[in-house]
């Protein structure tokens, strides 16, 4: 009975409610996919520090072997060590690592703008549905020429307001997910910058 009532409420919102349901499903899917993708992105700090200590001590082969490229910072650092070990100049290595770092950040940031867009347009779509519903309710009242039941009008307004509530329910998780995931991307970018910076410093010192 409750599921039937819920379905009736959802379908009563009209096309705008259908769009909001699709946006909600898309938003939740994106959040889950990005969580899985970004979960290991900030890890491996202790392992990288140990590898850099080995590099500083002169054990370059051991440092390279110690790295497991699980996170973006691991992959960028490993590429830098391999290039330096092969004899590439530090200036060329630094430029290539900057490119690799940018590519990693771009890959991690993929689809986050869509989450931002969903969080912005969902309340507006909800408001649009409410306005359209209110227009329809008052149009029905005008056509009834004063003989309309007040409870019927109230019921129409109540259904119209459902889209505003639905828009907010879609926007809030999307906004929270986008903010938290963006913060994780920024943290991962700092991890990359820190690892590359320390590697290039050690190389400049001849370590």
- How far apart CA 14 and CA 24 sit, in angstroms, is 16
Rounded to 10°, the helix 90-109/150-204 angle is 170
Q: CB of 199 within 8 A of CB of 55?
A: yes
DSSP string, 39-75: TTTT--HHHHHHHHHHHHTT-HHHHHHH----SHHHH
Q: What is the pLDDT of residue 160?
A: 80
178 class by beta-carbon count within 10 Å (0-12 exposed, 13-18 middle, 19+ buried): buried
Q: Count Cβ atoms below 10 Å from residue 125 Cβ, excluding itself.
A: 22
Structure confidence by residue, pLDDT tens digits, 157-202: 777 888 999 999 999 999 999 999 999 999 999 999 999 999 999 9
- How far apart CA 18 and CA 145 sit, in angstroms, is 32
- Which residues make Cβ contacts (< 8 Å) with residue 15, sequence separation at least 6? none
pTM of the model: 0.89
Phi-psi region of 26 (alpha: psi -120 to 50; beta: other; left: phi over 0): alpha
Q: How confident is the model at residue 132 (pLDDT cuts 50, 70, 90)?
A: confident
What is the total residue count of the chain? 207
Structure tokens at 104: 């990693």
Structure confidence by residue, pLDDT tens digits, 15-40: 899 999 999 999 999 999 999 999 99
3-class SS shares of the chain: helix, strand, coil, % to 5:
85, 0, 15
Domain ranges of the chain: 10-39+112-186, 45-108+193-204
CA 182, 45, 68: angle at the middle one, nearest 5? 100
Q: Is the pLDDT of residue 1 over 50?
A: no
CA 59, 60, 63: angle at the middle one, nearest 5? 90
Q: Is the pLDDT of residue 3 over 60?
A: no
Q: What is the pLDDT of residue 14?
A: 78
Residue with tokens 């699709």: 22
């Amino acid at each position: 009975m409750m599921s039937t009532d819920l379905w009736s409420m959802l379908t009563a919102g009209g096309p705008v409610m259908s769009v909001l349901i699709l946006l909600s499903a898309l938003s939740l899917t994106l959040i889950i996919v990005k969580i899985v993708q970004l979960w290991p992105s900030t890890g491996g700090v202790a392992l990288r520090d140990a590898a850099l200590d080995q590099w500083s001590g002169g054990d370059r082969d051991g440092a390279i072997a110690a790295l497991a490229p699980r996170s973006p910072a691991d992959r960028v650092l490993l590429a830098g060590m391999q290039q330096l070990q092969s004899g590439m100049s530090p200036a060329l290595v630094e430029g290539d690592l900057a490119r690799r770092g940018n590519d990693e950040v771009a890959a991690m940031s993929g689809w986050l703008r869509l989450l931002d867009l969903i969080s912005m347009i969902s309340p507006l779509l909800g408001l649009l549905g409410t306005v359209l519903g209110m227009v329809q309710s008052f149009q029905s009242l005008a056509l009834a020429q004063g003989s309309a039941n007040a409870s019927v009008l109230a019921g129409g307004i109540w259904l119209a307001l459902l889209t505003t509530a639905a828009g907010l329910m879609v926007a809030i998780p999307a906004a929270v997910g986008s903010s938290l995931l963006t913060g994780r991307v920024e943290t991962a970018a700092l991890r990359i910058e820190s690892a590359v910076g320390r590697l290039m410093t050690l190389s400049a010192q001849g370590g």
